[in-house]
A and B are shown apart, each in its own frame.
Chain A
Amino acid sequence: MSSTAPLPGYSLIDRLLDEQRSLSAVERFSRAHDRHEIPAMARHYRDLIPLSAPGPGEQYAFEVDLDACSGCKACVTACHSRNGLDEHETWRDVGLLIGGPERQPLQQTVTTACHHCVEPGCASGCPTLAYDKDAATGIVRHLDDQCIGCQYCLWKCPYEVPKYSAARGIVRKCDMCYGRLTAGEAPACVQACPNGAIAIRILRAADAAACFDNTGEAAEASRPWLPDSPAPHFTKPTTRYLTAQKWPSNTRAGDHFKIVPQPPHWPLVALLLLTQAAVGVLAGDLADRWADRPGQPLPPLLALILTAAGLVASVCHLGRPGQGWRALLGWRRSWLSREVLALGMFTGVTTLSAWANWRHTLWSPTAELTLAALSVTTGLFAVFCSAMVYADTPREFWCLRHTAGRFFGTVAVLGAAILFALSSLAGRSDIALKSPAIALSLATAIKLALEIRFLRNVEAGPNEPALSPLQRSALLLRQHVGPRARARVAFAVLGGLLLPALWLMGAAGVWIPATALGLCLAAELIERHLFFVAAIPAKMPGGL
């Protein structure tokens, strides 16, 4: 990009461009002689970190003096710079609390990072055991090379602490500057607060836990915790927020009324729908055999294909698919590991069953039936594990009742819809079609009733004192993604209720089961999409 000036030789422009390109600061003002390795900020943070390491039963914890915090947010940028994080990555966040009576309004900036919980949710959920609660310091550390990027910890942590990097394919998080703290240096945020509002203290893990065990108004008021923040009982965070002020009852986060749709996670939508459809098909097929209708080769094979497709899709969800095998390590505590295991078992048994079905001359009918029953049982267990993956997070929208209802509902709806269509295509008897049609209508009706009841249950107006996470989910479903939610209901009513009813009332034509299947698939696809989109988490107070 040199100048194309027509001037002969070396022009002033050339000279100035050359000068601009040279870096002069070092020659003139280098501090190279000043090579001392003693941290210059040590005198500032001397009182902000403990003199000794934690003893047995003790751990390091953040302590935030809210009365000293004036909202400059330097802690966030200091953490970012001193730890060399990616451009968009922050391990510390700030939010705002607003409230109070009109004459004495309150606004308070709150700074949050990892709370290094006594019972960290991230660690209990991680399928690869990539989290370590360090025995000596209590710091919850993340093993970056162990992480496969499943992002389950993002759901398990109630405080939005783990941050996923799509570029790296892993999660990273605050480690309380472990490397600094264990060398006697203060964490970046502690060093950077102009007002000394962040400190590291040692506390007894038992005390940290106990302070959240007592419920009731008095206990809650005296707690070193924030209003409009996730309930601390689940993970027992160790960060203590200190203030001399009393929180007015109407205190709320700056982003309290901000309702943000959550990521749709399409690969997981595919995994759940496909595996649940597979289980449904096998279950219907088993019912057929139980009723002494001859088994067909198609359903087990179809189930196998569906399951395989679902598993492939789920791998696409991982940041580091090649490391996916590590997900089995956490089976002792992680429902995600168990889901992977159960789906693996289901695939194995179903393969066997499909093979037996295909070459059923080789097998006794009893063995074949037993294998089919085993396949359905492992399938149902896998669906249960899937439901537990979500139910085991602090997201209320994913509580077991809702999630299991949806997942087993999908087993019934899609299983019935597929068999309805398959039987019709195969030109089977009316009786063979009747039961899936009835099952489809029933399952659809129950599912829709549950979903609509959820929406009715949690209405709330804007500017009410507070919205619960469930109310946020309901508002999101009604307003932000309203058209999608209504389309889901319309498709389900049409494909899952009206068409089967039409068929049961005697209308003929292959198009009815085929269309019903198409509509049900679309309806379930939207339902599962919304299951992710509307799962609004509780979170630490955010900003404007």
Chain B
Amino acid sequence: MTDPLTELLRRRDGPLTRDLVLEPGRFGLGRVPARLQPDDAVEMVCGYCSTGCSLKVHLRQGEAINLTPAPDYPVNLGMACPKGWEALTPLRAPDRATVPLRRNAAGKPEPVDWETALRTFCGRFKELLDRHGPEAVAFLSTGQIVTEEMAFLGVLTRCGLGIEHGDSNTRQCMATSAVAYKQSFGFDAPPYTYADFEASDVLVFVGSNLCIAHPILWQRVLRNPHSPEIIVIDPRRTETAMAATQHLALAPKSDLVLFYGTARALIELGAVDRAFVKAHTTGFDEFARFVQPFTPERVCAETRLSRETFDRFVGSVARGRRVSFWWTMGVNQGHESTRTAQAIINLALMTGNIGRPGTGPNSITGQCNAMGSRLFANITSLVGGHDFADPGQRQKVAAALDLPETRLPRQPCHAYDQILQGIDEGRVKGLWMIATNTAHSWIDQAEARRRLSRLEFLVVQDMYHSTDSARLAHLVLPAAGWGEKTGTFINSERRLGLVKKVARAPGQALSDFRIFQLIAHHWGCGEMFRAWSSPEAVFDLLRRVSRGQPCDISGIRDYAHLEACGGVQWPHALPADGGDPRCEAPARERRLFADGRFFTPDQRARFLFAPPRPMPEPTDAEYPLLLLTGRGSSAQWHTQTRTGKSDVLRKLHAPDAYAEINPADARRLGIADQKPMVIRSRRGTVRALAVVTPTVQPGHLFMPMHYAETNVLTRAEFDPYSRQPSYKACAVSARPA
């Protein structure tokens, strides 16, 4: 194309060119940028969502320089979502907390050394506890730290520091599933394994935008070789609804009616697995009588689904041989969420869709270690899912943890909302917040912030000094994050996986585990936690505690064994003869209840149900639109304290708060696409960019939860059993800004 002289003047090599040159990499990586050639690699579980993908971290001299998804891990099969790909970036953010910060007399945060920080922590909290009793100080923790830290926190506070109450942000996402399973099955036990996505012939997704919330699990759905019927039940036409074969765009919070009506229709069709129901459940007859009034006419009227759509759905469930039901926050975050989750469980039980490949009423968890929190946080049950009131179990836990039985708490903690309400009632004076961002994430945010600002002493322990909550704190403790510490996570399918230390925490940031060690020492109860010397030592304690529980992990000898197995699902019990379980690595994919025996005393599952209640805040003339909330994109995580630190992730979602609105509503209200609008609820007023799209129904607005604006609008309403907030339905009005 060009003459030789010109060709001579074209520079085909040089420093800029070499910057991008790829060369063969080891560790099965294929070609890697020469600049980023690793000298070693380790695999570890991702620290965002509960999918629990494994990431292969590329190391140079022990330090992470890049990562790629682990190709052989049974969960993600070499894939990761954008958050996982960018998991190292938030560790390098400039707003990392690097030293403890204490508010000075003028109210300005100033750096202090750890000694001072710990003295302040212990002094202030002890003073509050002495003056006002054990309820005066509470803690709010997270589903984002490792199980060993969760257990340490729960035991340290409730057995060591004499703090009565604490809760975790898993209350916001998983409390409903935990309670629903516990009541129906006798234990908080999601029964499935991810292989079930591939084995079903009918998959029903309820309030789950899997493609966005758990994109790597969608991969498993697409690998299903049975041309499955994929049914999505969601008011919005989400990415997942787009990919479904049936979309039930029902009226928000009408799912309980839909499922009761479905149960009735299945009974009429004779699609009940009578043998299974008789052998393994109790309460079916009452349930069958209860659902009689839920006629198809009533269902269609209340859900606003067409009869054809409803019948097709019922027919698919009735005909399916391996039907699996999957739910997430659309179910869990509702005013009658526990009964809704149980309505799904009932459908699986009555059709015998449980315990076999491709079946199950399956809750997909939110956070990377929500499952660890549910079992080992010592909040809603004694460590390891034990009963606070059962003397035998108390003795067992005390012995396993080498604690006096009398130090063990006697009842579950107050729930998150009750703790915050306690601030107003004068019960709670001091709060310790660990790796969560209440000032953004809690429902009815203005109220939550007002309450936090009333605290006499607020400690926030976080990776960043810049979170909405850290800005309110009297004391900020700098924490190391995922990748800077060791421990285990438990994913949605009950799989334990390892987190490893591949990056140096900045400045004086310490792992939450080490911060707990320091607090124990400075509080004066270090002796009690002498055995809690390292995450692996605590893992060993938890193994012993779990012995004989449904979540028995005693068969996992240590971290090395867990690593060698490539993650292990619970239960994995030590063989009765004490043999070396290492020889019998558990199967890679295992599910519960294959024998039809549940964890209730009579080993039968329960049919639980209650009449539907109307939505707490229906729309009216003043607030005519219903606000739905949810995840915005796969590149955003919760309040964005981490994902917001990655330039690349920021490119993958809208920069500022937006609200999706139907074109008909937009026309009527004079709202233009990409123009700001003002949204008002009884709690507050916010501005958001309008996104005009037919994927939301007329009469609805949708706002992603990642923007602080959203919870200014939401209404503090809770499910009575799980006390999980109902984020997904409140009345608002909208107008152009």
Contact = CB atoms under 8 A, between A and B. Distances in A.
Contact of A77 (B16, B32, B85, B504): B85
B695 A74 contact: no
B273 interface: no
Interface in B246-288: none
Interface stretch (A81-89, A403-411, A428-436, A533-541): A81-89
B197 to A, nearest CB: 12
Given A70-B211, A143-B11, A145-B11, A194 B89 contact: no
A193 B215 CA distance: 10
A12 B518 contact: yes
Interface in B33-85: 33, 35-36, 39-44, 56-57, 59, 62-63, 66-69, 71-72, 77-82, 85
A72 B211 contact: yes
Contact of B510 (A17, A77, A183): A17
Q: Which of B82, B509, B521 is packed against the most chain A CB atoms within 10 Å? A: B82
A25 B560 CA distance: 12
Contacts of B508: 1, 3, 17
B500 A24 contact: yes
B480 interface: yes
A86 B43 CA distance: 24
Contact of B62 (A1, A5, A25, A180): A25
B2 interface: yes
A23 B15 contact: no
Interface stretch (B21-29, B323-331, B406-414): B21-29
Interface in A113-133: 128-130
Nearest to A175: B20
B242 A108 contact: yes
Contacts of A128: 10
Nearest to B71: A40
Given A71-B239, A194-B218, A23 B501 contact: yes
Contact of A83 (B20, B24, B486, B503): B20
Interface in A59-109: 68, 70-74, 76-78, 80-84, 87-88, 90, 93-94, 98-102, 105-109
A81 B67 contact: yes
Contact of B28 (A25, A38, A93): A38
A42 B72 CA distance: 12
Contact of B654 (A11, A42, A179, A544): A544
A73 B662 contact: no
Contacts, number: 305
Interface stretch (B129-137, B538-546, B609-617, B666-674): B666-674
Q: Which of A25, A40, A172 is packed against the most chain B CB atoms within 10 Å? A: A25
B647 A88 contact: yes
Nearest to B515: A16
A462 B672 CA distance: 6
Contact of B26 (A35, A84, A102, A147): A35
Interface residues of B, number: 120
A442 B16 CA distance: 51
A329 interface: yes
Given A4-B115, A12-B521, A25-B42, A168 B634 contact: no
B219 interface: yes
Interface stretch (B382-390, B566-574, B587-595, B686-694): B686-694
Given A108-B242, A329-B10, A20 B674 contact: no
Contacts of A192: 69, 79-80, 85
A291 interface: no
A172 B19 CA distance: 11
B13 A129 contact: no
Contact of B31 (A88, A99, A180, A193): A180
A81 B66 contact: yes
Interface in B188-220: 211-212, 215-216, 218-219
B399 interface: no
A13 B212 contact: no
Contacts of A90: 648, 651
Contact of B21 (A12, A21, A179): A179
Contacts of A317: none
Interface in B557-585: 559-560, 563
B9 interface: yes
A109 B694 CA distance: 15
A107 B10 contact: no
A20 B30 contact: no
A332 to B, nearest CB: 8
Contacts of B35: 84
A463 interface: yes
B122 interface: no
Contacts of A296: none
Nearest to A67: B243
B401 interface: no
Interface string A31-58: 1101111111110100000000000000
B658 interface: yes
Given A40-B72, A87-B89, A106 B24 contact: no
Contacts of A81: 66-68, 85-86
A40 B29 contact: yes
A257 to B, nearest CB: 4
A543 B79 contact: no
A527 B500 CA distance: 58
B16 A44 contact: no
A294 to B, nearest CB: 47
Interface in A126-157: 128-130, 143-147
Given A3-B114, A21-B504, A25-B42, A463 B692 contact: yes
B498 A146 contact: no
Q: Which of B6, B33, B509, B648 is packed against the most chain A CB atoms within 10 Å? A: B648
B424 to A, nearest CB: 36
B505 interface: yes
A185 interface: yes
Contacts of B63: 23
A4 B63 CA distance: 27
Contacts of B28: 34, 36-41
B351 interface: no
A329 B6 contact: yes
Interface string B233-244: 000010110110
Contact of B517 (A12, A26, A71): A12
A5 B239 contact: no
A214 interface: no
Given A40-B29, A71-B239, A77 B486 contact: no
A220 interface: no
B99 interface: yes
12 contacts: A3-B508, A34-B41, A40-B78, A44-B77, A71-B212, A76-B651, A81-B68, A84-B20, A84-B35, A100-B694, A105-B693, A107-B242
Interface of B: 2, 6, 9-17, 19-22, 24-33, 35-36, 39-44, 56-57, 59, 62-63, 66-69, 71-72, 77-82, 85-86, 89, 98-99, 113-115, 118, 211-212, 215-216, 218-219, 222, 237, 239-240, 242-243, 480, 484, 486, 498, 500-505, 507-511, 514, 517-518, 521, 559-560, 563, 633-635, 646-649, 651-654, 658, 662-664, 666-667, 672-675, 691-695, 698
Given A37-B26, A87-B647, A144-B17, 11 more contacts: A12-B517, A24-B486, A28-B500, A41-B71, A73-B82, A74-B85, A78-B68, A98-B694, A179-B22, A195-B219, A462-B673
Top 3 A-B pairs, shortest CB-CB distance: A39-B30, A40-B28, A145-B14
